[in-house]
Amino acid sequence: MKHLLSLTFFLLTISLLAQKPCEYSANVTDSIGTYKATKEYMISEKNFGGTASYIFYSLALTDGIPTLSLQLLQKSKGFMKANCFDKNSKLFLQLNNGKIVTLIHVEQENCGTMIRDDKGFDNRINSGIFMFTKDGFEDLKKSPVSMMRIKYLTESEDYILKKEFKSELNNETYYPETYFMENLRCLE
């Protein structure tokens, strides 16, 4: 029994030490305040019939207030509708434990920016910043996320978050379900 407890303690210690270090795109403290943001992380990728869309997350801490930045990139030679963020936009995250966590959009209207590339594709880039509730922040640390719903100005869109996927864009492997469990610690 003593050996079993020692082995369990050893394995728990190794798993805690095995957490990858936090990677920041910004980490600044000056006379105005403090700001740190994690690097962008792909949460969703869809490629079908010459149209592609990608969703990235990044966490930020501004003077002690945690936020989630969501960036949606769309690429197509065909028509792309504009989904706008406004003061009523929300991000709903359904956890594997059955809870639903709601993040509130900051009151900043944004319908994205359209850019045409040299291959004739239209590229729409849209970003939204969402605030956590205290309970939601704690719940996201404890359970994987199975589904995400983005409520835009005029409609909602659902995404099933995969446990793991290999991106066609950059050949990297991503783990969207456990993004918050792995990265919220970077804001503490």
Report if residue 120 sits inside a domain: yes
Residues above pLDDT 70, as percent of the chain: 90
pLDDT of 17 reads: 42
Report if residue 78 sits inside a domain: yes
- DSSP character at residue 120: S
- Sequence letter at residue 146: S
Whether 131 and 104 have beta carbons less than 8 Å apart is answered as yes
Report if residue 13 sits inside a domain: no
Residue by residue, what is the 3-state secondary structure of 165-176? EECCCCCCEECH
Owning domain of residue 111 = 23-187
pLDDT of 18 reads: 55
Number of domains, the chain? 1
pLDDT greater at residue 41 or residue 109: 41
Report if residue 106 sits inside a domain: yes
pLDDT of 186 reads: 95
pLDDT of 13 reads: 42
Question: For the segment 5-51, what is each residue's pLDDT rounded down to a tens digit?
Answer: 444 444 444 444 456 899 999 988 888 888 999 999 999 999 998 89
Report if residue 152 sits inside a domain: yes
User: Is 152's pLDDT higher than 80?
Assistant: yes
User: Is 150's pLDDT higher than 70?
Assistant: yes
Report if residue 50 sits inside a domain: yes
Report if residue 17 sits inside a domain: no
Dist. CA 48–CA 50, nearest whole Å: 6
What is the pLDDT confidence band of residue 119, given thresholds at 50, 70 and 90? confident
pLDDT of 161 reads: 96
Report if residue 12 sits inside a domain: no
Query: What are 29's two structure tokens?
Result: 């403290």
pLDDT of 31 reads: 84
